[in-house]
Chains A and B, each alone.
Chain A
Amino acid sequence: MSDAAATVRVNGRDEPLEPGTRLDVFLSQLGLDAQRVAVERNREVVPRSQHGEVTLEPGDVLEIVAFVGGG
């Protein structure tokens, strides 16, 4: 797989990934406010304080969630 075709899986969908992208940058590319979401990477929660230290790898599986109405 070439770098240009690199992807990460986000909420069940493949999204293109620029090599070397940090998680905080990736979230803002998606238009998400890190203060309002929680991120799981490969089944481990990534604390907000570490978003800037995590570099995404091709094939990473992310779950990005937020609170919604529920009972």
Chain B
Amino acid sequence: MSTTLRLGDHELSSRLILGTGKYASLELMKEALTVSGTEMVTVAVRRVELGERGTGAFIDYLPEGMALLPNTAGCYTADDAVRTARLAREAGYSSLVKLEVIGDERTLYPDVVGLLEATETLVKEGFTVLPYTNTDPVVERELLERGAAAIMPLASPIGSGQGVSDANALRILRELFPDTTLIVDAGVGTASDAALAMELGADGILMNTGVASAADPVAMARAMGLAVEAGWLAASAGRIPRKLHASASSPNEGMISS
């Protein structure tokens, strides 16, 4: 098993990818990103505010050397997502994109038809497409057939903090696509959620709200970094089978006599 996570041209030693939204301040964001150990962050693409100088302020707060993964969050059509991805490539000099085509405002579930269409278009244009979607293996297979570079199923709805809501679905994806990079994207609420997702076979985890909206984002960022690493190590180590009855850890021989 590789100890690094490969995404596009990037070789990442941390398997945690963090979002950069929702932080109370940019200083807090920077500190959280730094202590988490992450080497890649997601960023959104938005219109600049005219008349407001210093457009670069946000970017300036990212720790040095941080790889950027632009997203198409907020796009509800394949066309908008494709345009946003093209602009992101121009803005960031990189062809990596976290592709979102959202189909429903309340659940933020993907519009899988639009997602397939946008994936096909962007792959043809040379993008490394990381599509956020649900845990449907049929959709994941269709995405891979269109050239997606990884599968990115949600653990539970974006920003919900519900953790892994369908562990079997993640197990099934891991089993069906053993050689595909699998990033669990969205829904992680605390460290145990992250560790569980890794133990179920994820190659990495992408999260934002779970860290940024924690009462202490810096402490949670560190916890998530440790949890992702711990989950990865545990998955690689191979857990013991579950047994119904106890199995003593200390020798039965050599006991003092009564």
Chain A positions near chain B (C-beta within 8 angstroms): 10-13, 15, 30-33, 36-40, 43, 45, 47-48, 63-71
Q: Do residues A71 and B50 form an inter-chain contact, with CB atoms below 8 A? A: no
Q: Do residues A66 and B53 form an inter-chain contact, with CB atoms below 8 A? A: no
Residues of chain A within 8 A of B47, CB atoms compared? 11-12, 63-65
Residue from the set B19, B45, B55 with the largest chain A CB neighbour count within 10 Å: B55
| Nearest chain B CB to A43 CB, angstrom units | 7
Q: Do residues A45 and B48 form an inter-chain contact, with CB atoms below 8 A? A: no
Residues of chain A within 8 A of B209, CB atoms compared? 71
**What does the 1/0 interface line of B200-213 toward A look like (CB < 8 Å)?**
00000011110010
| Nearest chain A CB to B32 CB, angstrom units | 12
| Nearest chain B CB to A7 CB, angstrom units | 13
Q: Do residues B91 and A65 form an inter-chain contact, with CB atoms below 8 A? A: yes
Q: Which of B21, B51, B90, B159 touches A69 (beta carbons < 8 Å)? A: B21
Chain B positions near chain A (C-beta within 8 angstroms): 19-23, 26, 29, 42-48, 50-51, 53, 55-56, 58-59, 68, 70-71, 73, 83-84, 86-92, 158-159, 206-209, 212
* Contacts A/B (CB < 8 Å), 12 sampled: A30-B51, A31-B51, A38-B88, A38-B90, A64-B50, A65-B91, A66-B55, A69-B29, A70-B43, A71-B22, A71-B71, A71-B206
Residue of B nearest to A39 (CB): B90
Q: Do residues B91 and A37 form an inter-chain contact, with CB atoms below 8 A? A: yes
Q: Do residues B90 and A33 form an inter-chain contact, with CB atoms below 8 A? A: no
Q: Do residues A71 and B23 form an inter-chain contact, with CB atoms below 8 A? A: no
Residues of chain B within 8 A of A38, CB atoms compared? 45, 87-88, 90-91
Residue from the set A13, A37, A47 with the largest chain B CB neighbour count within 10 Å: A37
Query: Complex Cα distance A43/B83, Å?
Result: 8
Residues of chain B within 8 A of A15, CB atoms compared? 50
Q: Do residues A45 and B86 form an inter-chain contact, with CB atoms below 8 A? A: yes
Q: Do residues B50 and A67 form an inter-chain contact, with CB atoms below 8 A? A: no
